[in-house]
Structure 1
Amino acid sequence: MSANISYAISFTDPIPFDCSQQYDTFIEIMKFVCQMAYLIPGWILHILILRTILWKESRVFLHNSFFVIYALDSFASFTMLTCDITYGRALMYIPPLCPIFSPYFFNPSFPQKLSYLIPNYMKAMKCVTQIFMNINRLHCILYPISYKTTWNRKILPITLFILLSPCLVTWNLMISRMFAFPIYGGFTVTYLKRVSWASLSLFHFIFLSTAVIITIVCTILSVFVLTTLSMRVKSVEMTLCLANFLISVGFVSTAFCQSFWAFCPTCSSDFLFGIQFLSYDFLNIASPLIIICMSSQLRDSILSSKIKQSPFIFISSLPSATTQTI
């Protein structure tokens, strides 16, 4: 989001604002409490997943290309949730905090820049991980024999691409001016573009749209291939359809919100601003729930002290005719 503000304002001058008095303090605080009720459990869930993949059972999961990519996706969600839980939602929805902390945001500062740059960087990163997870699943179904060798050979450059590609979205943020503005009784941070044509909303929309298209294409192809297999499991097909449908809904709704910011600046509203946050909340919270439901190996490892050993290695989020979780 970028505010409509005159470019006559200096990139170094203070940009003060008055905290809004039109919001009911009790209602705004209840919004905060309700959001914390699902953000904190989701944050804890990502901690458990990252702990399992990167440390507890790293010897199993880090040799699996899908889980390497998913760990990057989980880290992006974890970082976004950390920003929301520690300061983002509190400053936005708790009116008594506004007059206390807002003066620290009048002048440009490095922490202020990071507070806006990091969440947007992670939003773009989630789009890229979504793309590669879908391609990874489809490749496993289409070419189960060569899948592991091919992806293990390419996982390092793919990881580097996932980590660096969000710069295509956030490069203008790195050189632009961050400033705060009042909303929902509190305030949040946005930016004053250094390069006028480089719209953050447009870049996010392009990444989100690409992720949506690839998700839909991979879902259709995966379902088609699974239904042609002689040894197929109906529950697996239903899980594939449900998981990709839920993820697609999240990306479609988020892309829809971003399209307003990208193509209709006059459509800005507090309601649309809030819906955009909720759409990303859905992505961050639904993703770990889906993967835990789909992978019994990951679920068992999180819930038990020691992972169950099996002659078959779970090499994708979905078992194919030749690879399945025991």
Structure 2
Amino acid sequence: MSYFRNAKIIYLRYGNCVLRYDKCVTLALRYGKYVGLAAAVCLFLGGSAMAQTTGAGAAGRAQTAQPLVSEQTLKQVSDHVYALVGFPNIAIVVGNRGTLVIDTGLGVRNGATVMRAVEKVAKGQNLYLTTTHYHSEHTTGEQAFPPHTVLIRPVVQQEELIQRLPQHMARFRDMSQQNKELLQDVKLRTPDILLDGEMKLDLGGVSARLFCLGAAHTKGDMLIFVEEDSVLIPGDIVQSKLFPIMPDGEATMKGWLAVLDKLEPLKPRLIVPDHGELGDGSLIGKQRAMLQELQGRALQLKGEGKSAEEAGKLLTAELHAKHPDFANVERIAADVNLVYAEAQ
């Protein structure tokens, strides 16, 4: 498969066949291995609005949970949405004709666990997979999914994955022997659909909106909104009781806050974050408040002449004392460095 784009039109090439998607065209995929897919795809294409460049960073350094997904944690959170609660949380959207899985877990072992859970709840034969961002625990289990799975990924995220995932996996392997074993012989798939803009996936009785709002946690963050159930799957952009991880060269505090502002009007009833406890729509405001507190205090200390290192130490102590039940406290100093850099 190859991808090329012209203005508001996206093309997908399968061998000698070229599929054209106009700005809003609904069609069933009936080519090659997709014969018989009943779910229709509607693409609403716009600019990708991505910014920032990625770097080696420290995206994987703050692993705070066991990197295993368990079938025993599978729970139904709404009429059409299920979640495997773990590292990370995996969302499964089930329609009458198709199922969308969001993220894979770390390595093929976790991917296989996710697939076993999917088989318990899926109704239709069509299977779709998307990833919220390129980091290892969200992408490296994709080889466990069956060959007929349609992999959907934003163009920008795929570029990040190609450029950055090998380094990210290396850092994860260095964390533990278990990670090293989980990440053995990872084989990545080529996306079947590269998305530039928005996509609405009709699964039969329920639809999922896949969209990007700009750089935040990474350059290629993908969000999913299940409209009928008012459930948001925001990736790492909205988390629960975690200090933010802002990888060097990938994350942007300003961009992250801007994305949260754009999410607020959705007013989701439920949120399935990639990390942390599931919650209601108030998680968006809580995430914004945390980022604003961190950013505002860092800028105040900068204005007082404190170095980034000094401010990092002060804020780590302050925020940990104020939010003792939050994980990733070791990431606060790096977050302060980012705020200082963006203030230059």
Q: State whether TM-score is above 0.5.
A: no
Whose strand fraction is larger, Structure 1's or Structure 2's?
2
TM-score normalised over the length of structure 2: 0.26
* Structure having greater relative contact order (Cα 8 Å, sep ≥ 6): 1
Q: Which has the larger radius of gyration?
A: 1
TM-score by length of 1: 0.27
